[in-house]
Amino acid sequence: MTDLVPVRRALLSVSDKTGLIDLGRSLAARGVELLSTGGTAKALREAGLEVRDVSEVTGFPEMMDGRVKTLHPMVHGGLLALRDNEAHVMAMEEHGIGPIDLLVVNLYPFEATVAKGAEYDDCIENIDIGGPAMIRAAAKNHAFVNVVVDTEDYARLLGELDRHDGATCLKFRRKLAQIAYARTGAYDAAVSTWMANALGDTQPRRRVFAGALAQGLRYGENPHQQAAFYIDGSDRPGVATAKQWQGKELSYNNINDTDAAFELVSEFLPAGGPACAIIKHANPCGVARGTTLEEAYRRAFDCDRTSAFGGIVALNMKLDEPTARAISEIFTEVVIAPAADDAAKEIFAAKKNLRLLTTGGLANPAAAALTYRQVSGGFLVQDKDNGRIEASDLKVVTKRAPTEAEIADMLFAWTVAKHVKSNAIVYVRDGATVGVGAGQMSRVDSCRIAARKAEDMAEALGLSEPLTKGCAVASDAFFPFSDGLLAAVEAGATAVIQPGGSIRDEDVIAAADEAGLAMVLTGMRHFRH
């Protein structure tokens, strides 16, 4: 297989004109003949460059609104011909097919068209056909042909030509081919996913996910694991779209935990007041509202100060100076908020290991999306858990109905429980978590762990009794027996919110009545594994 291949003839056909003129000038200065189509050729000519139209090469005009212009043997023969195959060379000579050594193509902006909510027919018209066909042809024949599909690779291409006196090496062409196939694969995935959604097909025969590399990571969950962060191109506010103002690069665990924190705090709209969520290992260790953002942070912090150390702090509104000062009192890995004022940024500037991210807004917790998880031999796909419960949805099943204050705390606890690993138990009092039990095999253990944490915090805060006394408690799934409920009663809960649906619901309701509890059922569970 040939190593160095000189670039003498290039075909340029791009939707994104970024860097096009500079690339064209650099190639022309190296004596490369330029072929082009439509708007690309026009842009190059307007810049004073000599360009030959593909229609001149093929002998056919662009037709059918540009749908047919490069789908021709004069183009694909020039891309696919093996230069060291005598029969291929003879065929080129016989039919007057000139070799194409470089293909520069970026595709119709299908993904952007879908993202802006275009009509079905507009989306169809933005499905590129000739582009992917040429890319795949050039990539297959990378022994002789260079294919560039991303504007950020223009500089790499020119550098390679400089290093090899107008030629490229095989290793370089192979890497370009891999990038090219990944691009067409991602493009086809976007089209097939959009069409499935347009058809209302929730279980298409084949499901493909694609992402673009955002950053290579130092390692994964553990130092011996390699990892990288890919983004899917969606505009949902969060860690993938945030701006980082300071601090070293986010780690794998940072990204995972920051996503969990921001998705949780986005459940609390600013109209309801400031809110803060503190996350450790993807689980909330404190969530609260307050009259000010600083108060919300301090109330969340007081749920579990030990776990909050080295955690992730998410806020539902602009970070201000008082809150930044409060957060700076302990070591915090990441702070993420819709925005941050200059005074807050200045305070954090002294904390070189703290990362500050701003998102420009909150994520919409009700928006439809898919989540997926790998298992051996495949992956699971499901709708994102965007289930929400209002006070009007609650079914009171005990003799005592909850007070308005208890309903408010139950709904708050229910919202937090949705973001806690199962089995999840969340104690809430006056709009702040006061105990969280996560990820236990037994719901009773979750109840007791959350209560024990509250006891420890009461001692640390110098309180006469734990804040779980007089609280509301949420369980992400039903109580299979009354023992979990009784553990919550022992902790001091007076109101309970749970899905219901156990064959022993009547036993659990009877236990609640005997304890004088108010209990409501949601008819919805929030398992999070």
Rounded alpha-carbon distances, angstroms, from residue 324 to 152, 261, 304, 311, 348: 37, 17, 19, 15, 7
**What does the alpha-carbon distance between residue 132 and residue 416 come to, in Å, rounded to a whole number?**
46
Cβ contact 319:341 at 8 Å = yes
The span from the first CA to the last CA of the chain, in angstroms, equals 50
The H-assigned helical ranges of 200-292 are 252-265
Residues counted in the chain: 529
- How many whole angstroms separate alpha carbon 518 and alpha carbon 514? 11
Q: 425 by DSSP, 3-state: which? A: strand
**Alpha-carbon dihedral angle through residues 334, 338, 344, 349, given to the nearest 10 degrees:** 40
User: 197-207 burial, b if ≥16 CB within 10 A, otherwise e?
Assistant: eeeeeeeeeee
Instruction: Give the whole-angstrom CA distance, residue 509 versus residue 520.
Output: 10
The yes-or-no answer on residue 281 being catalytic is: yes
**3-state DSSP assignment of residue 327:** helix
- Per the residue annotation, which of 88, 140, 164, 345 is the catalytic one? 140
User: Which contacts of 231-237 are long-range, i.e. CB under 8 A and separated by 24 or more positions?
Assistant: 233/111, 233/115, 234/115, 235/115, 236/363, 236/364, 236/367, 236/369, 237/262, 237/266, 237/338, 237/359, 237/360, 237/361, 237/362, 237/363
Token representation of residue 495: 């109101």
Strand partners, 231: 212
- CB 495: neighbour CB atoms within 10 A? 27
Give me the catalytic one of 281, 318, 345, 469. 281
Contact of 486 with 460, CB cutoff 8 Å: no
How far does Cα 348 stand from its chain's mean position? 26
What H or E segment, with its residue span, contains residue 131? Answer: helix 130-140
* Long-range contact pairs involving 196-201 (C-beta distance under 8 Å, separation at least 24): 198/120, 198/123
- CA 139, 190, 176: angle at the middle one, nearest 5? 20
Query: Contact, 103 vs 145, CB < 8 A?
Result: yes
For residues 492 and 473, give the distance between their C-alpha atoms in angstroms, rounded to a whole number.
Answer: 9
Q: Is the peptide bond before 126 cis (omega within 30 degrees of 0)?
A: no
Told to judge if 140 belongs to the known catalytic residues of this protein, a careful annotator would answer yes
The residues carrying an active-site annotation are 140, 281
